[in-house]
Amino acid sequence: MQREQISVFDIFKIGIGPSSSHTLGPWRAAQQFTASLKQKGLLAQVEQIKVLLYGSLAKTGKGHGTDVAILLGLTGADPVTFDVNAIDSTIASIKDEQLLSLSSEQLISFNYNDDMVFLFFESLPFHPNAVTFQAFLNTGKAFSETYYSIGGGFVVKEGENGNEKEQVDLPFPVEKASELLHWCLSTGLKVSEIVMENELSWRTEAETRKGIMQHFNVMKDCTYRGCHTSGFLPGGLNVGRRAAALNKRLIGSSVYNDYSSWIMAIRNGGNSFNYILDWVSCFALAVNEENASFGRVVTAPTNGAAGVIPAVLQYYIAFCDGYTDEKITQFIACASEVGSIFKKGATISAAMGGCQAEIGVSSAMAAAALTECLGGSQRQVLMAAEIAMEHHLGLTCDPIGGLVQIPCIERNTMGAIKAITASQLALQSNPDKAKVSLDAVVNTMWETALDMNSKYKETSDGGLATNIPISLPEC
């Protein structure tokens, strides 16, 4: 049986908010569809495109920007580089002119109301996040493909299983936490070092380190930008951004025009419990307010949970002396391995497992990374991840109005705080006496996901989404 091989850059992806499964994944699916048309020599024959959205993609698609992402993907725009300030004008032009430049090469008519179809009451069996692209050709024939956005920006085409990429010979293959611990104990390597050795199978160490720092720079810029941007989030809920006001209250009247001087000012501001707690919350709020505003973020491992790892990493940088490239690389590498274990053994898709699959996994990743960076043993690292997830089990996904805002943004603050608490507990504990293993909690999370009612899986059909009138102001 072919094993799933996951790189650090599969778990951490640069993209545009608000959702990895509903925005980034469909965007990538649209790009893959146009690439398929090109490969088959059909692009120049296309006269019309229809997009069919199923299940969760239909029910919360507009709130998550699924339609926007697909249109941008069909034009050939890339989420890593596309100017986020041009999103609104680009989409408005497509809708108003009823024209779509397919892959920036083939201009076709496109009527948004007719050609973007939301099938609210239809789902496909493989995964709740499904999209079918239909291309109608000038020959009278049609060509279609179906894709599934399975969480974290991962996309699987109908008829494939997601493991089609070329296999490499990993020196330390890992499917479960027990295997990871075996490699760590038999070699003496840290979790992050196991990851870096495996990454050599795909690229040089220098390339991996450069890529990790590029991802960190996006996290850093997103956090800084979110802490200095006020206003209201798009989508109609009239949710006010809070990170900027909290930042100003904590930092005082001084103005810091770059990230490094801002972080130094935060570090010099004290280390009381309330002060640190407020900053961790501020970091998480900042990232997810940017995410909700269609800003550029890093999936960690998803967009809806994109604030947890940056918040804990900023805590490590500002309050634990973690501001070096080496320590940042160690943190992100370690976190990625825990994320991959959950991806392989359970899910990182809220549409499959509720919010435990997003906030819970990100909290476990952050807890493990922080524990290793603070000097914890390999067993303590896995223990921290287990503790963090154990206390997210059963967490539902019930976004009000289908938007990644309430309760999603605040949940990132809670996930970050739980990660730090889990790390501290693990560092002060003897993991040999632990009653629950990381593998046990991964299995439990997956069993809980299977048992969870579908209305709590990113459909906005239950929970807060149905009990809070969307006309109410944010409390």
Q: Tell me whether strands 106-109 and 116-119 are parallel, antiparallel or unpaired.
A: unpaired
Q: How many CB atoms lie within 10 A of CB 473?
A: 8
Q: What pLDDT score does 388 carry?
A: 98
Give pLDDT tens digits for 381-424.
999 999 999 999 999 999 999 999 999 999 999 999 999 999 99
Give pLDDT tens digits for 282-310.
999 999 999 999 999 999 999 999 999 99
Q: How many CB atoms lie within 10 A of CB 30?
A: 27
* Integer Cα distance of 233 and 213 in angstroms: 29
Q: What pLDDT score does 163 carry?
A: 64
pTM of the model as a whole: 0.93
**Long-range Cβ pairs for the range 205-209 (8 Å, 24+):** 208/8, 209/325, 209/329
Mean pLDDT, residues 193-202: 98
Domains of the chain: 19-157 (3.30.1330.90), 177-456 (no CATH)
Mean pLDDT, residues 338-343: 98
Mean pLDDT, residues 328-335: 98
Who's near 415: CB < 8 A, 6+ residues apart? 284, 305, 307, 308, 359, 360, 362, 363, 366, 388, 392
Q: Report the mean per-residue pLDDT for the chain.
A: 95
Q: What pLDDT score does 474 carry?
A: 42
* Integer Cα distance of 165 and 205 in angstroms: 21
Q: Tell me whether strands 13-16 and 106-109 are parallel, antiparallel or unpaired.
A: unpaired
Report the percent of the chain where pLDDT is more than 90: 91
Query: In which residue are the tokens 């992050």 written?
Result: 192
Q: Tell me whether strands 116-119 and 46-54 are parallel, antiparallel or unpaired.
A: parallel
* Integer Cα distance of 398 and 355 in angstroms: 8
Q: What pLDDT score does 472 carry?
A: 44
Residue bearing the bigger pLDDT, 172 or 2: 172
Q: Is the pLDDT of residue 323 over 50?
A: yes
* Integer Cα distance of 352 and 68 in angstroms: 23
Straight-line distance from the first to the last Cα atom of the chain, in angstroms, rounded to the nearest whole number: 51
Q: What pLDDT score does 1 carry?
A: 57
Paired tokens of 230: 């006020």
Q: Tell me whether strands 142-151 and 129-137 are parallel, antiparallel or unpaired.
A: antiparallel
Q: Is the pLDDT of residue 161 over 90?
A: no
Mean pLDDT, residues 38-51: 97
Give the pLDDT band (50/70/90) at residue 475.
Answer: very low
Q: At what angle are helices 177-187 and 378-390 packed, to 10 degrees?
A: 160
Q: Is the pLDDT of residue 207 over 90?
A: yes
Give pLDDT tens digits for 69-104.
999 999 999 999 999 999 999 999 999 999 999 999
Give the pLDDT band (50/70/90) at residue 164.
Answer: low
Q: How many CB atoms lie within 10 A of CB 97?
A: 10
* Integer Cα distance of 461 and 459 in angstroms: 5
Query: In which residue are the tokens 């899910």 written?
Result: 347
Please answer whether residues 335 and 327 qualify as being in contact, where contact means their C-beta atoms are separated by less than 8 angstroms. Answer: no
Q: Is the pLDDT of residue 333 over 90?
A: yes
Q: What pLDDT score does 162 carry?
A: 66
Mean pLDDT, residues 195-214: 98
Q: Is the pLDDT of residue 236 over 70?
A: yes
Q: Is the pLDDT of residue 428 over 80?
A: yes
Three-state secondary structure readout of the chain:
CCCCCCCHHHHCEEEECCCHHHHHHHHHHHHHHHHHHHHCCCHHHEEEEEEEEEHHHHHCHHHHCHHHHHHHHHHCCCCCCCCHHHHHHHHHHHHHHCEEEECCCEEEECCHHHHEEEECCCCCCCCCEEEEEEEEECCCCEEEEEEEEEECCEEEECCCCCCCCCCCCCCCCCCCHHHHHHHHHHHCCCHHHHHHHHHCCCCCHHHHHHHHHHHHHHHHHHHHHHCCCCCECCCCCCCECCHHHHHHHHHCCCCCCCHHHHHHHHHCCCCCHHHHHHHHHHHHHHHHHHHHCCCEEEECCCCCCCCHHHHHHHHHHHHCCCCCHHHHHHHHHHHHHHHHHHHHHCCCCHHHHCHHHCHHHHHHHHHHHHHHHCCCCHHHHHHHHHHHHHCCCCCCECCHHHCCCCCHHHHHHHHHHHHHHHHHHHHCCCHHHCCCCHHHHHHHHHHHHHHCCHHHECCCCCCHHHHCCCCCCCC
* Integer Cα distance of 342 and 336 in angstroms: 10
Paired tokens of 249: 């209250």
Q: What pLDDT score does 473 carry?
A: 41
Q: How many CB atoms lie within 10 A of CB 198?
A: 25
